[in-house]
Structure 1
Amino acid sequence: MALMQTLVGLQILLLFHVLGTTAQSIGVCYGTVADNLPPPKEVVDLYEANGIEKMRIYNPDPSIIEALKGSNIELVVGVPNEDIQTLATSEPSAIQWVQNNIQTHINYVKFRYIVVGNEIMPNDQQAQFISRAMQNIYAALVSFKLHTKIKVSTAIKLSLLGSSYPPSQGSFSPSSYSYIKPIISFLADKDAPLLVNLYTYFTYIGDPNDINLDFALFSPSNTTIKDGKYEYHNLFDASLDAVYAALEKLDAPNLQVVVSESGWPSDGGSAATVLNAKLYYQNLIQHVTQGTPKRPNQALETYLFAMFDEDLKGPAETERHFDQPLPQISHLQPQPPPAPDSLFHHHLRCPSSPCPISLPLHSLAYPNTLYSPPHAHPPQPPCSTVLF
């Protein structure tokens, strides 16, 4: 199982080559809640060698920022939740934060967004401070004349929506209004995007009887949501258009949305399998260039979660399985030629190993050739509508 998960961890890298630069709107999250990760310089090399042009990190880790110097990778850097109160209540602290973590490196690192907080909920202690912290960080950027280069935002959970079905009825929950309204007003005023962490996996496991698994995986299914003039054939589009509808109800119909996290776990829970994860990432990368029914033909900036498993995360077991560390990458051996009915070979670029490594995509999910791969998931009954 460990080898299987290690191999599926290569999927993100392989997909960037398989699908080419349709992935230009795609970034990859680089979480570090783990004790077995490669050094930051090797991680940056992996991003560059595989054409990944955007990185999201969750705190201004000096070693990561140093490793990015001179690269062409655009960086989305987070303000940790625990720092929000200080930055909200002290303008000098916000100026110092920007000076230490942004201004000092601006000539060598391509900063894209500063994300003030991740998945803060209205009843969290930090919620009362987040809007002011965003304003203070923005003011600090102005003082360094960086406000036209770097946008300030925050990343929210999809669960802030009180209604999402049908998508046109999407709205933020009444309990979140006082929290989300000033955030949306700030973003609209500064022409900055709202970042949304969107996981169809969690929506699916929350209601597996009414949500078709194929619908959550972008796979062909019998599920179609008809909502006025729009039709929805996957849960991702339906969820995102519900966010757009919610923004319209807050007088922000043109606010850009960035999907700041999206992924599927390969282990640790219901429907969390290697093959389902592979299908989700592949389909997501192919899909985001198309936009949604409500906003068609607009490439959607999306960040895959994640480059590595984070073995110290929890409490849910799935939190540790959104990808796999790659320290063993140089030890992978080329696989034998695939059987006639297996999928074609792809090549992974890895700067620290004798590459390209030729691997049958089939073997990435099922390296043990003593058995055949099962179906990606159990057959689902026909479904003509879905509640989420």
Structure 2
Amino acid sequence: MASMLTFLGLFLLSLKISYAKAQSIGVCYGLNGNNLPSNQDVINLYNEKGIRKMRIYAPIPEVLNALRGSNIELIVDVANEDIEPLASDASAAAQWVQINIQQYLPDVRFKYIAVGNEVLPEFNNAKYIFPAMQNLQIAIASAGLQDQIKVTTATYTALLGVSYPPSQGSFRDDAKPFMKPIIDFLARNNAPLLVNIYPYFGYIGDQDNIPLEYALFTSPGIVLQDGSFGYQNLFDAMLDAHYSALEREGGSNVKIVVSETGWPSEGNPPAASLENAGIYYNNLIGHVQSGKGTPKRPGRALETYLFAMFDENEKPGADTEKHFGLFSPSKQPKYSISFN
């Protein structure tokens, strides 16, 4: 009987681990296009493809209503124009939570609230990020949702002053006063830091020193030996550089969620191509679902959100920005990908 119970326990643990791996991939739902499917068609496509996590960049009522009953876990960003009011007025934060979160519960599965996306300390809204996070945390706790929904922010590699080698990763000197209270807040509230990780931009920014294979997960062996850690892909190296930066600011226990990663299919040949993007997405998904983690955090699940669901023809910036979609606006897949 004892051996049967032991077997059952191991079996259930195996199921739990397999489920965690299968649930580790999400996809960002961008809306910078004038030719995109209806919100309900998009939710149906998520369900059809087995995509169980989503990030949206503002609490858009039409999207939130379409998500009702879908069981899709959600990152919802605070719109840029709302950050300052939430920072200066606790009652505004409480109202934001009531309007954009509570009225959709329990039909929508909110997981994270992201206050700011890729905000640098020199930006005008930087000083409002942390106080807005504090006020939203108070509102979430007052609603009894602090164990269900975590308040955080989304950052990226430009905040690092040192990113190579990963063990020496550290925030820019001017970013440390900006990040330190945020890191302490995340540690206190057992919340992750969201980080956008793009090996594509790392590669095109330093092609003389970064092999394409290293960025695409296709290197046959270790490319970078960093002390006892060996790196076979740039994704892990970039992620671990952020973990090192967190450690230096007292955030050793803060987990990182990769809130964006992707590769464009066109706009900057030969790096941005349909072939390279397909290789990147497939290898990334395989890496994330393997459960191996990174050299610095082995065996840790890599909750990762691909950017993005669709090509967005109205996205500002370089032409590549319009071609990060996994699907065309007609809902046709651009790559042969198994999400889960």
TM-score by length of 2: 0.89
Q: May I ask how many residue pairs the two structures share in their alignment?
A: 317
Q: Is the 8 A contact 1:215 1:221 kept in 2?
A: no
> What's the CA shift for 1:164?
1.1
Q: Contact 2:310–2:329 (CA<8 Å) still a contact in 1?
A: no
Give yes or no for contact 1:171–1:246 (8 Å, CA) kept in 2: yes
Q: Say yes or no: does 1:276 pair with 2:293.
A: no
| Equivalent-residue separation in structure 1 for 2:300 and 2:104 (angstroms) | 32
Unaligned regions of 5+ residues in structure 1, if any?
A: 1-19, 333-344, 349-388
Letter in 2 for 1:302: T
**Counterparts of 1:232 and 1:54 in 2: how far apart (Å)?**
28
- Listed as ranges, the matches of 1:33-52 within 5 Å are 33-52=32-51
* Aligned equivalent of 1:126: 125
Q: Provide the rounded CA distance (Å) in 1 between the counterparts of 2:327 and 2:38.
A: 11
Is 1:249 aligned with 2:248?
yes
Q: 1:138 aligns to what?
A: 137
Counterpart position of 1:57: 56
Mapped partners of 1:215, 1:23: distance in 2: 25
Equivalent residue, structure 1, for 2:219: 220
Is 1:239 equivalent to 2:235 in the alignment? no
Q: SS of 1:131's equivalent?
A: helix
Note the C-alpha offset of 1:324. 5.5
Q: Deviations over 1:12-39 (max 9, x none)?
A: xxxxxxxx98542010000101111101
- What secondary structure sits across from 2:23 in the alignment? helix
Given that 1:65 and 1:109 are in contact with CA atoms closer than 8 Å, whether structure 2 keeps it comes out as yes
Structure 1 CA distance for aligned equivalents of residues 141 and 179 of structure 2? 24
Share of identical aligned residues, percent? Answer: 53
Name 1:309's counterpart in structure 2.
311
CA contact (8 A) 1:259 1:302 kept: yes
The verdict on how the C-alpha distance between 1:347 and 1:146 changes in structure 2, with shifts beyond 3 A counting, is: closer
1:326 CA displacement: 4.0
**Deviation for aligned residue 1:327:** 4.5
Cα separation, 1, equivalents of 2:93 and 2:193: 21
5 Å-filtered alignment, 1:1-388, equals 22-221=21-220, 224-270=223-269, 271-288=271-288, 289-323=291-325, 325-329=327-331
Output one character per residue of 1:291-349: Cα deviation in whole Å (capped at 9) or x when no partner: 0011111110000001011111122111111016544348x9xxxxxxxxxxxx9999x
Deviation at 1:262, TM superposition (A): 0.3
Q: What one-letter code is carried by the residue in structure 2 that aligns with 1:35?
A: N
Amino acid at match of 1:310: E
Check conservation: 1:38, 1:326, Cα contact below 8 A.
no
Q: SS at 1:174's partner residue?
A: coil
Q: Which amino acid aligns with 2:120?
A: M
Residue 105 of structure 1 aligns with an amino acid whose one-letter code is Y
What is the CA–CA distance in structure 2 between the aligned matches of 1:346 and 1:106, rounded to whole Å? 32
Cα 1:21/1:103, change in 2 over 3 Å: closer
How far has the Cα of 1:62 moved from its partner?
0.3
Q: Deviations 1:28-74 (Å, cap 9, x if unpaired)?
A: 00010111110111111111111111010000010110001011111
| In structure 1, distance between residues paired with 2:20 and 2:147 | 27
In the alignment, residue 236 of structure 2 is paired with which amino acid? D
Whose Rg is larger? 1
- 5+ residue gaps, structure 2: 1-18
In 2, Cα distance between equivalents of 1:126 and 1:245: 26
Please give the alpha-carbon distance, in whole angstroms, between the structure 2 residues aligned to 1:184 and 1:65.
Answer: 29
Distance change (3 Å), C-alpha of 1:27 and 1:329: closer
Q: Measured at CA, do residues 88 and 254 of structure 1 come closer, stay the same or move farther in structure 2, by a change above 3 Å?
A: same
Deviation at 1:169, TM superposition (A): 0.5
Matched AA of 2:137: Y
What residue is the counterpart of 1:6 in the other structure?
none
Give CA-to-partner distance per residue, 1:245-282, whole Å, 9 cap, x none. Answer: 11111111111000000000001114000000000000
CA 211–223 in structure 1, closer or farther in 2 if over 3 Å, else same: farther
Cα distance between partner residues in 2 of 1:191 and 1:262 = 23
Is contact 2:37–2:330 with CA below 8 Å preserved after alignment?
Answer: no
Residue 222 of structure 1: how far off its partner (Å): 6.1
Secondary structure at the counterpart of residue 136 of structure 1: helix
Question: Is contact 1:22–1:285 with CA below 8 Å preserved after alignment?
Answer: no
The 3 A distance-change label for structure 1 pair 325 and 294 is closer
- Following the alignment from structure 2 to structure 1, what is the Cα–Cα distance between the partners of residues 172 and 338? 46
Partners of 1:326 and 1:239 in 2: how far apart? 29
Q: CA RMSD in A?
A: 2.0
Residues 235 and 347 (structure 1 numbering): CA distance in 2 closer, same or farther, change over 3 Å? closer
Q: Which residue of 2 aligns with 1:359?
A: none
Hey, what's the Cα distance between the residues in 2 that align with 1:257 and 1:328?
Answer: 33
Output the TM-score relative to the length of structure 1.
Answer: 0.78
Q: Which amino acid aligns with 1:206?
A: G
